[in-house]
Amino acid sequence: MKVGVVGVGAVGSTAAYAMVLNGVGTEVVLVDYNPKFALAQAEDIFHATPFAHPTRVYAGGYDALKGAAVVVIAAGVSQRPGETRIQLLARNAAVFASVIPEILKYAPNAILLVATNPVDIMTQVATEISGLPSKRVIGSGTVLDTARFRALLGHHLGISPVSVHADVLGEHGDSEVLVWSGAKAGNTNLLEFAAQTNRTITPEVRERIDTGVRRAAYSIIEGKGATNFGIGAGLSRIVRAIVSNEHSVISLTTETPEVLGVKKIAVSVPRVIGAQGIEATLFPTLDEDEAAKLRASAESLKSAAKEVLSQSSN
């Protein structure tokens, strides 16, 4: 099954590389505004296939996307040190206006997987530009934030992060909500597990983990200019769920009729995802504080999305 990646900078190329390592798809085609760059990335990734899976990896124009089941959109300008995701809006909306029609010209049946930041609002922008049903326009949302949360919790508890079940909801960014109330280690409530293993979760531990999740992108970008490994693996995981029709539950963004009273908003909550895209949206039980924070996150995104969409229509 063919997977396209449009925009093969740090995020797009790492996503393609992760897909090859994980055996996701049978073909991965790279498209970029700089064809030589796309060709070089494709060659480099292709040379890894003897150590991984016999995936066909190549570069091409938008016409090479014909027949793609999924197209990852990682095109856009990079986040600058100190710049919030919201500040990226105007610069990346214009990129999508030129990219998405070209994708759909050759791959009209593809599911669009948005990775460009600010991803929640860019997913809503992509939905408006494409005219596709919202279930076929998916943003990576808080898949990476959730992974960061689970990794840090696992480290504190001394267990594999694979055994940690905890989600981050809302915006992929400053107003994201770490759902501590529903977190589990195995099938045991997080606080009970921590008490039984003498890995108590104190307010200081919570603050450290919250900061480690919420501020991760800023510290990584300050140190090396971009985040790519975590999100690349996350995008590979999402694509696998689609091409393998897994019906997996992953925290993702798509335009949703209502989230806690906020209408028509793209925000990250758990979704069931398979070959047709988003199959169901789930709303976990939250405590009062988490629900209030999720509502505030949705309202913040709604305001920013309204502004950028009104600018795009003028």
DSSP three-state, residue 214: helix
- The single residue of 155, 165, 172, 247 carrying the catalytic annotation is 172
Angle at 246 between CA 242 and CA 247, to 5 degrees: 95
Give 165's strand partners.
Answer: 184
Residue 247 among the catalytic residues = no
**CB-count burial class (<10 Å; 0-12, 13-18, 19+) for 162:** exposed
In our burial notation (b when 16+ CB lie closer than 10 A, e otherwise), range 245-274 reads eeebebbbbbbbeebbebeebbbbbbbbbb
Both tokens of 255, joined, read 């335009």
Instruction: Name the residues annotated as catalytic.
Output: 172
